[in-house]
Amino acid sequence: MRTRVKTTGLAPLTEGRRRGRPRSAAAREAILRAARDMLADVGPSSVTVEGIATRAGVGKPTIYRWWSDRHAVVMAALMDVEADAPARAGRSPLTQLRQQLHAIAERFATPTGRHVTAMLAAADPNSELSKAFRNHFVMARRAEGAAFLRAAIQSGELGRLDIDVALDLLFGAVFFRLLMGHAPLDSKFIDNMFELALCGVRRGTSQQRNTKARRR
């Protein structure tokens, strides 16, 4: 039989040592590297399977052995950006959360970041891959953010609030600027936005300071 499991480029061919020549991990890496390079040049919708194959010095069928279709390869290539988020050692949970938002903004403000955003929006929202993609890029961060928020509530920095709603406010604002591009996604915006979103449930005196700082 010819059919073979597609690993979607995520799982590392476990399943207990097959017979015959093993799949070339080198080929897989070359493919991803080529795809990443091309993405940087031309954007996701202009990356072609044939282009990747040529650039990676690989046959097209080898690509299709690992991924089910063009979309999947491109997504995999985008997922492969370095794992970032080097464990911000901040003071308070709230400060850590704010720093995280800054980091995200920086990360996605690059051309590649734009491509990721584009793929996020363009893909069939119901596909398994698309979900994995969203999960990998956004929801994982959002989960981090949730931890910070919970910690802040625990520590008394914040009053009671719906964590999901708060996260969507914060992350939404960031990605909205990213997608629309109507105004710069700079650190000032993040601070202001952060402040406004949470000022109603803030405890302590940092509130006033920040509110002043925000004034233009």
Residues that bind DNA (CB under 7 A): 1-2, 4, 17-24, 27-28, 30, 48-51, 57-62, 64-66, 69-71
Phi and psi based region of residue 39 (left: phi greater than 0; alpha: psi -120 to 50; beta: remaining): alpha
52 or 158: CB nearest DNA: 52
DSSP the chain: -------TTTS-S-SS--SSSPP-HHHHHHHHHHHHHHHHHH-GGG--HHHHHHHHT--HHHHHHH-SSHHHHHHHHHHTS---------SSHHHHHHHHHHHHHHHHTSHHHHHHHHHHHHS-TTSHHHHHHHIIIIIHHHHHHHHHHHHHHHTTSB----HHHHHHHHHHHHHHHHHH-SS---HHHHHHHHHHHHGGGB-SSHHHHHHHHH--
28 binds, among a copy of itself, DNA, none (CB under 5 to 8 A by kind): DNA
Q: To the nearest whole angstrom, how small is the minimum distance from the Cβ of residue 70 to DNA?
A: 4
176 binds, among DNA, a copy of itself, none (CB under 5 to 8 A by kind): a copy of itself
Q: To the nearest whole angstrom, how small is the minimum distance from the Cβ of residue 133 to a copy of itself?
A: 11
94 binds, among a copy of itself, DNA, none (CB under 5 to 8 A by kind): none
4 or 203: CB nearest DNA: 4
124 or 128: CB nearest a copy of itself: 124
202 binds, among a copy of itself, DNA, none (CB under 5 to 8 A by kind): a copy of itself
Q: How far apart are CA 61 and CA 48, in angstroms?
A: 14
79 binds, among DNA, a copy of itself, none (CB under 5 to 8 A by kind): none
Contact positions vs a copy of itself (CB under 8 A): 43, 45, 114, 117-118, 120-122, 124-125, 134, 138-139, 142, 161-162, 164-166, 168-169, 171-177, 179-183, 189, 192-193, 196-202, 214, 216
